[in-house]
Structure 1
Amino acid sequence: MSHAVIADKRPSTLRGASLPKWTPWAIAAGSVALGLGISAAAGLDSKIQWAVMAGVLFVAGTYVIAARVEGRRQAKDRVATSFVWVAFLLAVIPLLSLVWATVQRGTKVLDVYFLTHSMGVVADSEAGGGIYHAIIGSLEQVGLATVIGAPIGVLTAIYLVEYGRGNLARAVTFFVDVMTGIPSIVAGLFILSLMLMWDMQPFGFAGSLALAILMMPVVVRSTEEMLKLVPNELREASLALGVPKWRTILKVVLPTSLGGITTGIMLAIARIAGETAPVLLLVFGNPFINNNPFEGAQASLPLFIYQQYSQSAGSTAAYDRAWAASLTLIAFVMILNLAARGIARWKAPR
């Protein structure tokens, strides 16, 4: 009996050899060092070539070492994981480089004065001025686009999920898919053609209409997916109690998916906040403060960045203002994304 108990406590020999947990880090360090050595020996100055070479060496080294120790089957699994990490790094490194370059160059003139003053009588080649007029224009144009596009998008998604059947629903779905891929310049040209028909001058609300066109399909798609995640049992239980369908949607379906719908709307706002082409065609830009989006040309942050950078050939001041406005726009989009995540967690069903 005692021999049987001792035999049961022995470690199993069915499990093959495995690499230690620090092996991927060691392979990565070796790949980086070998990539640097090959780049130095070959005289390669491009960081992109060095990064790709290090990634290939990391994947190849992982497969060779894992195949010798753990076998080919486990080696293939580790290679797939390595590809995921390499792809992740290839996506993150350019993003971090972009953010770092924007922060480094945008903080030169970004201060309270820059955020609370307009260009006014300051020429593009002169130092000074700010983006207050552009911030007002962006907030008003994006806000009006949200007021127009968000309700239409949500109601369209409700129709497609809760009521849509037959040819009409298929036609709406088709046109939503088509609108998702429409370039922003096409939406701007459509509104511009309407303005030319009525002989209208550029004004902020025209840009809002174009941005609303770009926003609606994003809201429809995100809201549609969120509504489909609501369990049908909740709908059936409400209908079984004699509650009308419209009230079931209003009191059961929408509150359950409110967090996801709000997140989709916030992400759609972040998507249209950086559009330049429709604003350039319809709003036209204005160095002075214009608080009325229904009359006269207005500024916006993307348009301000474009105009300042186009004038930066002989002016360092315009170049710095363009980067500072870019940093402000990135901060605005980042705040919207963080707010969307916060609302999604707050309104998530428990």
Structure 2
Amino acid sequence: MTTATSVADRTPVPQLNQRLTAASLPSWAPAGIAVIAIALGCAIGAGFGLASHLQWGLISALLFVVISYAVSARVEGRRQAKDRLATSMVWVAFILAVVPLASLLIYTIQQGAGVVNGDFLQHSMKGVLSAGPGGGIYHALLGTLQQVGIATAIAAPIGLLTAVYLVEYGRGRLAQVVTFFVDVMTGIPSIVAGLFILSVWNLALGFAYSGFSGSLALAILMMPVVVRSTEEMLKLVPNELREASYALGVPRWKTILRIVIPTAIGGITTGVMLAVARITGETAPVMMLVFVSDSINPNPFVGPQMNLPVYIWQQYAQVNNQYGYARAWGAALVLIAFVMGLNLIARGIARWRSPKSGH
């Protein structure tokens, strides 16, 4: 009797497992559904006379989500279809985020690659007609490097020390006040930072317009980004590392310098580079505090300087000027390459300085 009962109890189990695992879409199904959705989206867009390819893409994305859910519900069941639906929506969101960035990069390369060469990088606009060929961005590139470098030299140490204080020492009302003002400064418009430096540094203290004035405004914009990113990276350092260092009798300042910061150096460097990328494209503070110059000014503390974002605006503002448009796109390509280079350098430093696991 016991044997018969046990056999009867075990009989439905293989059938249940078979029902759960038998119905499944092949691995190539998402790619095939994507091809079908794109074909149908293009056919619908062309059939209804939609001129924008963006509309075709949105229709294809919607069809991909709908078809994926319908096919999965038919073959795999509703439970698995819901998972397919969520996955399809994530892929669509990813593509919608990447396509504009890729399109911008491709279009900038197409428009600016023909202009960027040795002469373009080694010459300024001095003595060059704005409506004629020739000229380059050397003066603007030099100004950008100097202004961003000075701003980074000011903002990075202050931001790092502020983040260390908030994470390691900050307790009570002072830390709350600092955190509040950092949050407020994170969303401050660039024109406000420019007006502040103009009022205090140039008008109240009487300093002349220069690249350094622009660097002060850029440092104000950069500082809260450095503080916030560094603060989050320091919070990710395990407390066990700190406690182990304290147990060995190491003082707090040396623990921070030798243990905490080296452990988080990868994230800190990435945060600084993100802040540098943010200020590299700022235009309003530079126009307000640095002015423009067609000639090379190697001294950021005296006289006006050019900047790549301002140069792009100046060249593109010339109506129906094909040479100005070409120079603007070339400068934009150099600016994008500069920011990408900074990010690659940051990743290299992060890999080099990150703690290595012992064997």
TM-score range, shorter chain: over 0.9
Give the corresponding residue for 1:103.
109
Contact 2:262-2:354 within 8 A present in 1 as well:
no
Residue of structure 1 equivalent to 2:299: 292
TM-score normalised by the chain length of structure 1: 0.95
Answer yes or no: is 1:125 the counterpart of 2:131. yes
| In 2: Cα distance, 1:100 partner to 1:199 partner | 45
Counterparts of 1:1-350 in structure 2 under 5 Å?
12-16=17-21, 17-194=23-200, 195-311=202-318, 313-349=319-355, 350=357
Q: How far off is 1:14 after superposition?
A: 4.4
Distance across 2 between alignment mates of 1:199 and 1:348: 45
Identity score, percent: 64
SS of residue paired to 1:13? helix
Separation (CA, whole Å) in 2 of partners of 1:326 and 1:273: 12
- Equivalent pair of 1:263/1:343 in contact (CA under 8 Å): no
1:243 partner letter:
V
Consecutive aligned runs of 4 or more in structure 1 exceeding 6 Å deviation: none
The AA in structure 1 aligned to 2:181 is F
State the 1:97 CA deviation: 1.0
Deviation at 1:348, TM superposition (A): 2.3
Displacement of 1:45 after TM fit?
Answer: 1.0
Q: Deviations over 1:104-147 (max 9, x none)?
A: 11012210000001111112112111000011100100000011
CA separation in 2, counterparts of 1:244 and 1:24?
A: 57
Contact 2:242–2:255 under 8 Å retained in 1 = yes
Give the root-mean-square deviation of aligned CA atoms.
1.5
Measured after TM superposition, the shift of residue 30 of structure 1 is: 0.8
Give the AA of the match of 1:111: N
Q: Is there any run of 5+ residues in structure 2 with no aligned partner, and where?
A: 1-6
Distance (Å, rounded) in 2 between the aligned partners of 1:315 and 1:66: 55
* TM-score normalised by L of structure 2: 0.92
Is residue 109–residue 333 contact of structure 2 (8 Å, CA) maintained in 1?
Answer: yes
How far does residue 242 in structure 1 lie from its aligned partner after superposition?
Answer: 1.9
